[in-house]
Structure 1
Amino acid sequence: MKTYWMNRWETIRNSFWFVPAMLVLIAVGLVRIVVTLDRHLHQFPVSLPEIGFAGGAEGARSILSTIAGSMVTVAGVAFSITIVALTLASSQFGPRLLRNFMRDPGNQYVLGTFIATFIYCLLVLSSVTGQNGQIFVPRIAVNLSLLLALMNVGVLIYFIHHVATSIQADNVVNGVYEELNQHIEHFFPESLGAAVETPQKVHLQRTGMFHRTVPAAAEGYLQAVDRACLQQLAASSDCQIQLRYRAGAFVVKGSSLAVVSSEKALEETLDDQLQSCFIVGKMRTPEQDPEFAIHQLVEVAVRALSPGINDPYTAMTCVDRLSAILCTLTGRAFHPAKWYDDMGTLQLEEPALTFSGVLAASFDQIRQHSLTDVAVSIRLLEGLARIASHCRTQAQQQAVSSQAEMIYRSRQNSLPVEEDRADMTQRYQAVQDELRQL
């Protein structure tokens, strides 16, 4: 259940309406509080300093209607600017990066502030009365609307600056990089060499003949797996569950998500309980997918290398960030994707995530799309040399060496200039030298 609500919260965070909706609710509550205070002061007159608005009902209506109309206009302009920024970002960096712009707190709070101010002025305007001898002017509320209008001028200036800087390539790459760093702290919190408990008794597989597959209820991307729920079902049913996919994989309706093995017949009601442990959606999410942000950086680099954009410097920036992430991962423990009960019996197993797999996800596509770009190819080898200097295990060394060899071999036959080939050989030799020093 926790996994389900975390998935829903991730969906809400990526929406463009949540923060503006919350600010509108705050504006409604603020109107009730301030107008109630004004009514109380109107019934029991208290001498207040003559600061700000001190006019009558018509003046209050004029001010509130002017501010409300201005806020609607400014909100429309801000929304139009946001759409233009999203269009540019989609064409230059890829449509999957729109998620980063939509969840940007700056854009959400700016739009929410304009809409909330409009709602505030509209509701305060409805409380102003000036007919039949009964005059009520909420002075505090009107003065507060003037303060909000002044604040919104600053918000508009901030928004223009924020949009102008947020669509710059370096800032986009840095934003994805920071998100990827957060994912590493979440998925790989332990340092390499930390003590990990090894179960005393391990049953690698069940010896019984009862097996059942868990089919996918719909096609799409496996967004999350409730491992705690699966472990509880494995304990209560005395069975072993083997997952076929990790979060982030695409599944087809009816394909096997998992295989349940048991030494006794399994109950029919177990099917629905197992189905509820998997969340399949239309798009990938970073909740349980450590390669999600890596693929975003790779997409930016690949699009930068396309003939239509031809921006090798952005691609090299992505390579630098990816190499920095992989240097960090060399010191993090990739635990076997197996979960045991207190007695040491294997309950749940899923395809393991390895350093070589993350390295391939980071460099393969960039290597394949940079066949004609010498600078990016050289930067790939420089990044691998940087990673090689941080390697701690033989498996990491083999992965780096294999990736460097693929880059070197693919470029030697495609570079017509001897000096370029010499540069490639020098960078390739630097990778091998770093590996030999370990």
Structure 2
Amino acid sequence: MNNVQLRKLWDALHSSYWFLPSLMVLMAIALSFIMLTLDRSIGFGDWSLIYTGGPDGAREVLSAIASSMVSVAATAFSITIVALQLAAANFGPRLLRNFMQDTGNQVVLGTFIATFIYCLLVLRTIYGEDYNPFVPHLSVTFGIVLAIFSIGVLIYFIHHASTIIQASHVIQSVSEDLNKAIDRLFPEKIGISPPPNPQHTEILPEDFESLASPIGAKRNGYLQFIDDEQLLKIARKNNLLLRIELRPGKFVIEDSILVMAFPRKRVNQKIIDEINKAFILGKERTEQQDVEFPVNQLVEIALRALSPGINDPFTAIRCVDRLCAGMCYLVQRKLPSPYRYDRDRQLRIIAEPVTFAGIMDDAFNPIRQYARSDAAVTIHLLEAIARIAQYTHNPEYLAVLRRHADMIERGGKEGLPEPRDRQDLQEKYLSVIQAVEQNRWISM
């Protein structure tokens, strides 16, 4: 199993509500056997902090703890389901993945279930016959400690459950995912960096389109991962040039083209199968190799906040602030070249590039379109453009920012009915254009 498949497996386990609680249950089982072994091998009856009651009292204590843990676990699970329903209704169903990945909820459920299992396993070993009674004093004491710890966990859960459904917490969580995706993806290189100023148009064979073999997908699903290193090995081993037609986050239809492999004469069924294995498909998008996914999540929260049924522009403004922070972070990174080379400086892979213009369109176009009649959000969009411009002197990036500022200004003029609002918008627009053009002049 390669690194990409391991990341896919870990992502699936991390998003489940059974994996971490199952590990904690296994730890409780192991711990019960360890404590019982200590009870049988070492006497603890004279210790002042150790439970010293008889078998009937030990049974009652463990039974009370076990039954209460089941009740509390059921209550915690019900609260979690209600929180998921509220999240789906207020923030969108795509945000459920973030709630499913919440480690705090998983630890809480795992603690209650693990305590219940521990008490059951210790309870079965207690017997009070006159000829050979056995009370695992240390194990019962540790069960009481687990019960006290579970009470603390319950208090934490009540606070945590009321916190994670707040809009500010959800927006911050998605924003952190966006920053992590930028850190993870854009510094990453496949193979060796291209030589200085390569003439890509001359490197690509003129007969590429006519002699390349299309390799189709074997099933439907969202493209979650691409094993770039494996593709590079396949291309080098078989002396191929591969052009990837899709990037992570796109929906793949069965038999749609994943890769164009050149030349066709070197492609066989084995190579087709190996290339297909390098493309990991799933039923939903993930942020592991898809930087646009957390952007879309923030945009979805903003659009729901701007809908007539909710009408919450302040939440939309928070989303704009987080998108602005992510774009400020992004413009300071060098986007990777779509051309990937092997150790011999031979062009092997042409990947579909992620562009700043594309990410900005995903981030700002939908909000601009929905907020054209909202003066506060529209003006805040212009302020975000000005703040992003402060972090870059790249002429291409500044041209993209100028284009978005122009669209926001035109949309606001058409959508704002109040003349004073339009005047404020025009003043803000002129200040933004001045900031963008000043940075463009510095870059020259």
TM-score normalised to the size of structure 1? Answer: 0.95
Distance, in Å, in 1 between the alignment partners of 2:239 and 2:356 is: 33
Matched, 1:115 2:113: yes
Distance, in Å, in 1 between the alignment partners of 2:295 and 2:126 is: 56
Assess if the C-alpha contact under 8 Å between 1:331 and 1:392 holds in 2. no
Assess if the C-alpha contact under 8 Å between 1:89 and 1:98 holds in 2. yes
For 1:167, the equivalent position in structure 2 comes to 165
When residues 65 and 400 of structure 1 are mapped into structure 2, their CA distance, relative to the original with a 3 A threshold, is same
For 1:31, the equivalent position in structure 2 comes to 32
When residues 50 and 390 of structure 1 are mapped into structure 2, their CA distance, relative to the original with a 3 A threshold, is closer
Assess if the C-alpha contact under 8 Å between 2:221 and 2:252 holds in 1. yes
Residues 361-414 of structure 1, C-alpha deviations (whole Å, 9 max, x = no match):
111111111122111111111111111222221110110011111111112122
Assess if the C-alpha contact under 8 Å between 1:211 and 1:261 holds in 2. yes
Question: Considering only aligned residues, what root-mean-square deviation do their CA atoms show, in Å?
Answer: 1.8
The 5 Å alignment of 1:8-407 reads: 8-41=9-42, 45=43, 48-131=46-129, 133-189=131-187, 198=195, 203-205=203-205, 207=207, 210-262=211-263, 264-407=265-408
SS in structure 2 of the partner of residue 279 of structure 1: strand
Distance, in Å, in 2 between the alignment partners of 1:372 and 1:395 is: 29
SS in structure 1 of the partner of residue 17 of structure 2: coil
Residues 175-205 of structure 1, C-alpha deviations (whole Å, 9 max, x = no match):
1111211111111238xxxx96526897323
Distance, in Å, in 2 between the alignment partners of 1:281 and 1:189 is: 25
Assess if the C-alpha contact under 8 Å between 1:239 and 1:263 holds in 2. no
When residues 47 and 206 of structure 1 are mapped into structure 2, their CA distance, relative to the original with a 3 A threshold, is farther
Assess if the C-alpha contact under 8 Å between 2:128 and 2:134 holds in 1. yes
Assess if the C-alpha contact under 8 Å between 2:238 and 2:266 holds in 1. no
Judge which range, 16-25 or 63-72, deviates more: 16-25
For 1:426, the equivalent position in structure 2 comes to 427
Between the two proteins, the alignment pairs up a number of residues equal to 431
Deviation (angstroms), 1:131: 2.7
Judge which range, 200-209 or 414-423, deviates more: 200-209
Distance, in Å, in 1 between the alignment partners of 2:44 and 2:248 is: 63
Deviation (angstroms), 1:36: 0.7
Assess if the C-alpha contact under 8 Å between 2:194 and 2:345 holds in 1. no
Assess if the C-alpha contact under 8 Å between 1:334 and 1:353 holds in 2. yes
User: What residue identity is the alignment partner of 1:269?
Assistant: K
SS in structure 2 of the partner of residue 437 of structure 1: helix
Assess if the C-alpha contact under 8 Å between 1:327 and 1:386 holds in 2. yes
User: What residue identity is the alignment partner of 1:398?
Assistant: A
Residues 279-333 of structure 1, C-alpha deviations (whole Å, 9 max, x = no match):
1111001111111111111111111111111111000000011111111111110
Deviation (angstroms), 1:416: 1.7
Assess if the C-alpha contact under 8 Å between 2:45 and 2:52 holds in 1. no
Distance, in Å, in 2 between the alignment partners of 1:336 and 1:51 is: 65
User: What residue identity is the alignment partner of 1:55?
Assistant: G
Distance, in Å, in 1 between the alignment partners of 2:414 and 2:159 is: 47
Assess if the C-alpha contact under 8 Å between 2:222 and 2:284 holds in 1. yes
When residues 283 and 78 of structure 1 are mapped into structure 2, their CA distance, relative to the original with a 3 A threshold, is same
Residues 223-248 of structure 1, C-alpha deviations (whole Å, 9 max, x = no match):
11111111111111111110111000
Deviation (angstroms), 1:127: 1.1
Assess if the C-alpha contact under 8 Å between 2:225 and 2:248 holds in 1. yes
For 2:442, the equivalent position in structure 1 comes to none
User: What residue identity is the alignment partner of 1:329?
Assistant: L
Residues 99-153 of structure 1, C-alpha deviations (whole Å, 9 max, x = no match):
1111111111011100000000010001112236221100000001111111111
Q: Name structure 2 gaps, 5 residues minimum.
A: 440-444
Residues 246-287 of structure 1, C-alpha deviations (whole Å, 9 max, x = no match):
000111111101110127442332111111111111100111
TM-score normalised to the size of structure 2? Answer: 0.93
Judge which range, 328-337 or 199-208, deviates more: 199-208
SS in structure 1 of the partner of residue 87 of structure 2: helix
When residues 395 and 230 of structure 1 are mapped into structure 2, their CA distance, relative to the original with a 3 A threshold, is same
Distance, in Å, in 2 between the alignment partners of 1:347 and 1:206 is: 16
Distance, in Å, in 2 between the alignment partners of 1:19 and 1:263 is: 47
Judge which range, 135-144 or 181-190, deviates more: 181-190
Assess if the C-alpha contact under 8 Å between 2:214 and 2:261 holds in 1. yes
Distance, in Å, in 2 between the alignment partners of 1:50 and 1:413 is: 80
Deviation (angstroms), 1:219: 1.4
